[in-house]
């Protein structure tokens, strides 16, 4: 298993190029199931979750080719021979359940392993299932798999009791080929949901209201192929922005859409960073110790849960006490015990972390536990004094394209140990 060796402290300086959004790539790849024609996606990030989704598409019989240098993924439509997401793939990547909606819509059946618990909480998909059942699908649970069959899905009115990103995406993909009109209320408004809706529209789907609480979809009979560019990864961009701040560096973050992570940039400004927003780039510099801040994670446009761990890392070095409340996932503080081993002063009360800033962190042997927790450890290690070794970095590789080489280019002393 690969490890990362990081020597701190460093001041990051230079320019880093952001990859395409992992969380846009996964639903857009699933959307290719809806057409018999070919789909060409550009700005696709070379991350392990994309590779796992390619593995899943190939398992089902699809023909995929991924040019990792050019970040272009081609998927030939209409080739599926199996409508199944097996346990071994779903276990690695819970977002595999995104194939459920498109499989049932196009092939009238799906067999998808139920995602179990995962490091950051239970994460059920009950709302995806409830909506599909209402659309007329017959659903049963067999040997740990959810088996869905439907003659023809029908349009429905549905209210999501909880705002769910992949739930909104799954049901939107089911509805595009359903009979009649579907009205979804309390939808997720994340830029990745909008990115998927725009792709579906390019394929001929009739969708209105993406990016708002209420999405209306009029089913069509047929969707065509398309060539489509994914948005950039706002979480990767936000992570490099915090990296610049925590190391009191000066970094230009390129190939990103600053308006999609303004929630993060505003919080960095509150913490004392200088931010210059440009058209497709943002410059982040920090000259002093961070000022303390308060964060409550919320669905978009609120502060993203996927940036919570990185900001906890930043708060450990602040001049004063910060408060970070996690409202989306119940077990998303696993970076905290590791940060405390580096000298951070943090107390967890329920879903809230109280962080008293310290003057310095010291390098340590660390364990990555999930994708964003691992990113927080990298950030802390860059700012800490001495050497840190981060174990189990496959978590980082799931969502950060070439993190070690990108970090090295902006001055990090970082090595991947095989």
Residues that bind ligand UD1 (CB under 6 A): 23, 26, 95, 123-128, 162, 164-167, 192, 305-306, 328-329
Q: How far is the CB of 117 from ligand UD1 (least distance, A)?
A: 10
- Indicate the residue among 54 and 342 with the shorter CB distance to ligand UD1: 54
Q: How far is the CB of 269 from ligand UD1 (least distance, A)?
A: 22
- Indicate the residue among 125 and 243 with the shorter CB distance to ligand UD1: 125
Q: What is the 8-class DSSP label of residue 230? A: P
- Indicate the residue among 71 and 166 with the shorter CB distance to ligand UD1: 166
Q: How far is the CB of 384 from ligand UD1 (least distance, A)?
A: 26
**How far is the CA of 2 from the CAs of 48, 367, 389, in angstroms?**
14, 12, 10
Q: What is the spatial distance between Cα 372 and Cα 53, in angstroms, rounded to a whole number?
A: 19
Q: Which residues, in sequence order, are CB contacts of 279 under 8 Å at separation 6+? A: none
Q: Pick the catalytic residue: 28, 64, 83, 118?
A: 118
- Indicate the residue among 125 and 205 with the shorter CB distance to ligand UD1: 125
Q: By three-state DSSP, how is residue 184 classified?
A: strand
CB atoms within 10 A of CB 319: 13
Instruction: Give the E-state strand segments of 204-314 in sequence order.
Output: 206-208, 215-218, 226-229, 250-254, 274-277, 281-285, 294-296
- Indicate the residue among 57 and 414 with the shorter CB distance to ligand UD1: 57
Q: Which residues, in sequence order, are CB contacts of 174 under 8 Å at separation 6+? A: 100, 101, 102, 104, 105, 131, 132, 135, 153
Q: How far is the CB of 396 from ligand UD1 (least distance, A)?
A: 14
Question: Is 118 in the active site?
Answer: yes
Q: How far is the CB of 100 from ligand UD1 (least distance, A)?
A: 11
Q: Which residues, in sequence order, are CB contacts of 291 under 8 Å at separation 6+? A: 270, 271, 272, 318, 319, 320
Going by C-alpha positions, the residue among 324, 298, 321 that lies closest to residue 309 is 324
Q: How far is the CB of 372 from ligand UD1 (least distance, A)?
A: 8
The answer to whether 171 and 184 have CB atoms below 8 angstroms apart is yes
Q: What is the spatial distance between Cα 375 and Cα 181, in angstroms, rounded to a whole number?
A: 42
- Indicate the residue among 5 and 118 with the shorter CB distance to ligand UD1: 118
| Element housing 141 (H / E) | strand 138-142
Active-site residues: which are they? 118
């Amino acid at each position: 298993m690969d490890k990362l060796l990081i020597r701190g402290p460093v001041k990051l300086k230079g320019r880093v190029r952001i990859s395409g959004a992992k969380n846009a790539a996964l639903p857009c790849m699933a959307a290719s199931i809806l057409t018999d024609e070919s789909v060409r996606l550009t700005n696709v990030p070379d991350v392990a979750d994309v590779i796992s989704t390619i593995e899943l598409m190939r398992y089902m019989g699809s023909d995929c080719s991924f040019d990792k240098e050019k970040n272009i993924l081609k998927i030939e439509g209409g080739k599926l021979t199996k409508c199944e997401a097996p346990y071994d793939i779903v276990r690695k990547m819970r977002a595999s359940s995104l194939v459920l909606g498109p499989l049932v819509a196009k092939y009238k059946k799906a067999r998808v392993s139920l995602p179990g618990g995962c490091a950051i909480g239970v994460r059920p998909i009950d709302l995806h299932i409830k909506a599909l059942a209402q659309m007329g699908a017959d659903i049963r649970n067999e040997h740990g798999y959810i088996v869905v069959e439907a003659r023809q899905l029908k349009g429905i009115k549905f209210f999501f009791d909880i705002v769910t990103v992949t739930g909104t995406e799954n049901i939107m993909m089911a509805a595009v080929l359903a009979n009649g009109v579907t009205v979804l209320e309390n939808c997720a408004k994340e830029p990745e949901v909008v990115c998927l809706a725009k792709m579906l529209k390019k394929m001929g789907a009739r969708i209105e209201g993406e990016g708002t609480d209420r999405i209306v979809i009029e089913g069509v009979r047929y969707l065509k192929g398309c060539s489509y560019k994914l948005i950039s990864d706002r979480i990767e961009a936000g992570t490099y922005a915090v990296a610049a701040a925590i190391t009191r560096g000066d970094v230009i973050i390129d190939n990103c859409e600053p308006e999609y992570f303004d929630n993060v940039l505003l919080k960095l400004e509150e913490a004392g960073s200088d931010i210059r927003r440009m058209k497709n780039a943002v410059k982040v510099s920090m000259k002093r110790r961070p000022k303390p801040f308060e964060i409550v994670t919320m669905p978009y446009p609120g502060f993203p849960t996927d940036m919570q761990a990185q900001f906890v890392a930043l708060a450990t070095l602040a001049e004063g006490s910060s408060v970070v409340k996690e409202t989306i996932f119940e077990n998303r503080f696993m970076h905290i015990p590791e940060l405390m081993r580096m000298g951070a002063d943090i107390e967890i009360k329920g879903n809230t972390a109280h962080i008293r800033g310290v003057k310095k962190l010291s390098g340590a042997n660390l364990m990555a536990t999930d994708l964003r927790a691992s990113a927080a450890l990298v950030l802390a290690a860059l700012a800490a004094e001495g050497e840190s070794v981060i174990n189990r970095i496959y978590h980082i590789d799931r969502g950060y394209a070439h993190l070690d080489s990108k970090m090295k280019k902006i001055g990090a002393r970082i090595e991947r140990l095989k």
